[in-house]
A and B are shown apart, each in its own frame.
Chain A
Amino acid sequence: MKNSALASTSLLVPAFLRGFSSQKIYNSRTGRNLVVVQLSGGNDGLNTIVPYRNDIYYRSRPTLGIKTDQVLTVSDQLGFHPALAPLRSLYDQGLMSIINSVGYPNPDRSHFRSMDIWHTASDSNQYLSTGWIGRYLDSACPKDQPHYALEVDDSLSLAMKGHQRSGFAMSNPNALKKTTDNRFLQAVAQHHDHHDHDEVAYLYKTMIDTQSSADYLFKQSKVHRSKGSYPRTPFAKDLKQIAELITADTDTRIYYLSLGGFDTHINQGNQQQRLLKTYAEAMAAFVEDLKSNGLLDDTLILTFSEFGRRVSQNASNGTDHGTANNLFLMGGQLRQPGFFNGAPNLSKLDKGDLIYEIDFRQIYATILEDWLDCPAQGVLPGSFEKLALV
């Protein structure tokens, strides 16, 4: 099995894949990885990183506020939601940066639109059909590989779509292999010779790339079995798969995955508690796993949500769509672990919502230039001041 899958399509395999040996050398990588975690639905940042000394917080959230004695205090102003306990040790080891009040001008409170804005890095009155990672793939910076950016899902997010190149969607290597193990389509890939126009060539290229990437990723997924102890949630399973691929020195540098369910309009307490627990336990296991393989210095993990929620709770023991939010970075090379900036200002709101201090595109610009070594200009629409993050 080892080589046969590749051998049968060897003529079609792009040059970078040819001559691959299945013997991989661990922990000798030079490339850096970026892992993007999307919390879909709008995570309530104020109950995630709790301003437990702030009276306005408790006045605005008489039943929903996290009680002072339950908060895991990490600074004299801010503390973690109790469900984030597994992240406490990451914080203490300097492996986590928390950036408060991240947003953009004229915020949109619709899930779709705000997620669009985060994916495309557009202004709020601008419509782009490509995402920031997709445009990074379009740039000359990354190697031209179909699976250079991988989304752990069956379908691809807008963030991952570029003009010329796109990321690669794969929920798991076995399932992907099934969709490409089509004897007919494999033969078609070998049989075709020339294409008289761009569109048909593009379709064939995408098909052949998918077939060879599916073979490659399937093989890579068998190289390393993680010894880390992950919780038994689908989200943790996705992260484990990413850790295994990273450890196997896979030619993928960007990973993207999502955890949904954060739209907590009604009875937020239990729902958010459950989700944050899922998030924190899995992330702690993931970081630990990478660390034990000496890969944490090569990895940066970004966690974001499309918006935060209103400062005041609503009448259903929940919170409605808001604006600015906190964002997490994790990894071994953070320049400013702990809190990057101060707590959000609850006494100066815009119609009941937080006012952003840091444009999320400043964070993208920093990641592009300081982590991925790629000029942000051309990838981001406009120029954004970098921050001392990595």
Chain B
Amino acid sequence: MERNTLQIRHLFLRAGFGLSPGEWQRWKLASLEQAVEHLFSEAANAKQLQLTTENGLTEADKKERRKADRKLLMRQNADWVAHMASGTSNALLEKMSLFWHGHFACIQRQPKLAAQQLRTIRQHALGSFRDLVHAISKDPAMIRFLNNQQNKKAKPNENFARELMELFTIGRGNYTEQDIKEAARAFTGWSSTLLGKYKFRRRQHDFGPKVFMGHKGRFNGDEIIDIILEQPATARFIVRKIYRYFVNEQIDEARVEQLAETFYADDYHIGRLMRRIFTSSWFYAPVNIGRKIKSPIELMVGIMRTLQVEFDSSLTLIFIEKALGQILFRPPNVAGWPGGKSWIDNSSLMLRLNLVGYLFQATDVNFRTKAEFEAPKRNKAMKKIKAEVNLQPLLNQFSNYKYSELVAAMSTYLLPPSSSIDPDWLRQFTANGHAEDQVKSVCLRLMSLPEYQLC
């Protein structure tokens, strides 16, 4: 594979969700500089993502409303995924938002608040981490999820203050239990209204003096956040996580230290940090290419882009998310999705390997997801994955190749560079004759390989 093509593929997989066949044609021979420029300018000009937030019920009882809200959350989930997969999406912005969505992990119950939080995240995803933390600490969904509604002067609730430090900013080992207590006091009264707006409840706020990380003062929550951001350990913690997500699960300590220093000196500017990563030569080193196990969302969005998949209902998509272990707006807990090898067990792997076969309706799925805790009965098993696949863009790119060249060309597009597929061996599993059938069957086989799970 040509070195540049390989790098382009790597860039778009990590900074986005991979390329559709049409985009592949457009970018595979472009320069890296152009491609990086394109990703950032596209993100800078992104429009707001419109998610439906009205469940259509005006006067309904609590149970009905809850049911409608659950449905609406699924719809929002599916809409966001469809947007990630669409040809007009801002791949880098969505990928970065997905990262922060997992970082500021928040189990959502109210569609309106979920959409609002995602808007906040998208607004700052490539901007200033400082702005992002300040905004999230005033985000009603987060305030409710981490019990800051109950954080009052007379009886502080430490949940938000603890997770802010442990998971969102500086990480364990860099603060004391006393720091948590003091920070919790500073966030007392940070609440939200019934309508889902941030509200500072003055009477519940503790205006008294606090001692936090060696500083003394009558701190409020914003000042606490700024003190946390003053610590270089915060830059290190965030960069480590970004490095593991975008570059390699195995940390290169020296590299991370260097990046963290610049990130800190640059007042936590996320976009410039990402640009630094994507324009570094080490980002394109073989050790960083094709080594990451795709998350379920990355896998699905990639497949959707390649095969132009349209699911017949958001339920189908949610089924796949659930079976593979990543439901948007529903992280397992405030620590988010652990990622890496933890995506893979015997059940999720077989489903992943068979997924494209299911989309081509080659075989039945017959998979039962676990029921909700509230559900009285087992879920019904999913029999078939109902979706439309449009192979035309793929055919446009690949139907003119001879068989042996076809396997090589499609491998370059679909698989990491180290996976060499012997066309003569593969021939026994692919269709002969008509070009369309050949493209389809080679595509099915390559996308069923374990290597396809990597990016």
Contact = CB atoms under 8 A, between A and B. Distances in A.
Contacts of B367: 154-155
Given A155-B370, A191-B425, A260 B346 contact: no
B26 to A, nearest CB: 29
A157 B325 CA distance: 10
A334 interface: no
B49 interface: no
B354 A203 contact: no
A24 B415 CA distance: 44
Nearest to B373: A111
A108 to B, nearest CB: 10
Interface in B352-373: 353-354, 357, 363-364, 366-371, 373
Given A155-B323, A196-B418, A206-B344, A129 B335 contact: yes
B323 A161 contact: no
Given A127-B333, A204-B450, A260 B345 contact: no
B140 to A, nearest CB: 18
Contacts of B167: 127
Given A175-B366, A207-B450, A199 B349 contact: no
Interface in B320-362: 323, 325, 332-335, 338, 341-342, 344-351, 353-354, 357
Interface stretch (B111-119, B267-275, B375-383): B375-383
Contacts of B332: 112, 116, 158
Interface string A257-280: 010110100000001000000000
B453 interface: yes
Size category of the binding interface on chain A: 35 or more
A130 B342 CA distance: 8
B451 interface: yes
B450 A261 contact: no
Contact of B375 (A155, A178, A196, A261): A261
A154 B344 contact: no
B30 interface: no
A283 to B, nearest CB: 18
A178 B373 contact: no
30 contacts: A40-B371, A112-B333, A125-B162, A129-B335, A129-B338, A129-B342, A154-B367, A155-B369, A155-B370, A156-B348, A160-B345, A166-B345, A166-B346, A167-B345, A169-B345, A178-B363, A184-B429, A185-B353, A187-B428, A196-B418, A199-B292, A203-B453, A206-B346, A207-B450, A209-B346, A213-B346, A260-B370, A260-B373, A260-B375, A261-B377
Interface of A: 40-42, 111-113, 115-116, 125, 127, 129-130, 146, 153-158, 160-161, 163, 166-169, 171, 175, 178-180, 182-185, 187-188, 191, 196-197, 199-200, 202-204, 206-207, 209-210, 213, 234, 258, 260-261, 263, 271, 306
Given A184-B445, A200-B290, 5 more contacts: A129-B338, A168-B346, A169-B347, A203-B293, A260-B371
